[in-house]
Structure 1
Amino acid sequence: MRLPTLLFALAFAFATPALAQTPKPVDPAALTQAKAFLEKSGSTALSQQMVNGILMAQKASLERANPGKTAEINEVIGLMQAEFAKEIPAMIDAMAAVYAQHFTKDELSEVTAFYDSAVGRKMVKEMPQIVSETMTVAQTFGQKIAVEVMSKLKPEFDKRKLKTSKS
């Protein structure tokens, strides 16, 4: 299984049990303020950026597996994008509930006020680029570390007669 497909599957494997849990009751006023915080903080836009990243990775994986089928892949990616778009509001609601469980309405109002300040607005403006750059840094380090760790632990795999890849 290619890495993007694996990440895609893992994201949903971990998200599904979390979504199935019964949420703790939250103060409706805190929930409303949490939604305002998510919007002003750019979290809603970052969620869409994450979805776009997942779709781009999935598209690249599909293109590698299906050369010459660009039109068909684009159609499927469009369908996937539409399905993700339907789910984002529920995800935002669930995220807001988490914030409302950890912060009071007044605390969320204070945090939201930060995003109304000049530096808060700058943070929202710069965050997509920062997230993109830090993801690249994390991927580079993650790949490097994974190779080093696998190399270092190869004797442990061999000792247990475990293969590190399909051969």
Structure 2
Amino acid sequence: MMRVVLTAAAIALASPAMAETAPDAATLAAARELMQVTDVQGQMRALGPRMAESMGQQMRQMFKDDTMPEGLRTELTAAMQAYVGSMDSYFTPAFIDQLATIYARHFTVDELRRVTAFMKEPVMVKFRAETPAMIAEMLPLTFEAMKPGQQQFIAKIKQIVADWIARHPEDKAKLRSPTAS
């Protein structure tokens, strides 16, 4: 079910990258400094275990009285911890540099320096430190808030795909799961 939602979101957000001029060296350097100050990898390291716990809570809700069979819980917990425990490894220097390039395209060097200075303020240091815990608290609320429309959304996505395949049967082979339609 979540795979369908994520696939639909990926398709909706995917578009060819527009040709952009490369930012100048000073702006890119300022953006890189911002990435360093915000410590993306550290944020992911702190967020990972909390995300795993939130996902575990969501999975437990699939069972009566939120009681998941112990063996299943153990296997799912191990898989989630392995996945989220490695999340910060996805944020390689090359990836972070790509993020910096995006910031450099959207902000001037002066704006980036101002944001970086602000991110160094004690209140922002605290904000970054507290964010992983706050997100972990917010995730269950977000999932719960999305529930009312989730089934309808998933049904709509499945119907759109089924209708597409009915009109374009040659595309059925392109689906990861031929039974998905």
1:135 matches 2:144: no
1:38–1:44 Cα contact (<8 Å) kept: no
Unaligned runs of 5+ in 1: 158-165
- Map 1:94-109 → 2, pairs under 5 A: 94-109=98-113
Instruction: Output the CA distance in 2 between the equivalents of 1:27 and 1:6.
Output: 40
Unaligned runs of 5+ in 2: 60-68, 160-179
1:46–1:128 Cα contact (<8 Å) kept: yes
1:21 matches 2:17: yes
Per-residue displacement from partner, 1:55-98 (whole Å, max 9, x unpaired)? x96xx7xxx9x95994xx958x858966x655422332222111
Q: What SS does the corresponding residue of 2:23 show, helix, strand or coil?
A: coil
% identity of equivalent residues: 20
**Aligned in 2, Cα 1:47/1:68: closer, same or farther, shift over 3 Å?**
closer
Q: TM-score, normalised by structure 1?
A: 0.57
Per-residue displacement from partner, 1:28-52 (whole Å, max 9, x unpaired)? 2222222221232343433456666
Q: What SS does the corresponding residue of 2:124 show, helix, strand or coil?
A: helix
Instruction: Output the CA distance in 2 between the equivalents of 1:47 and 1:14.
Output: 25
1:26–1:100 Cα contact (<8 Å) kept: yes
Q: In the alignment, which residue of structure 2 is the partner of 1:88?
A: 91
Alignment: residue pair count: 144
2:38–2:119 Cα contact (<8 Å) kept: yes
Q: TM-score, normalised by structure 2?
A: 0.54
- Map 1:1-167 → 2, pairs under 5 A: 2-3=1-2, 5-6=3-4, 9=7, 17=14, 21=17, 24=20, 25-48=22-45, 53=51, 70=75, 78=82, 87-89=90-92, 90-147=94-151, 150=152
1:33–1:105 Cα contact (<8 Å) kept: yes
2:32–2:100 Cα contact (<8 Å) kept: yes
Counterpart residue type for residue 91 of structure 2: I
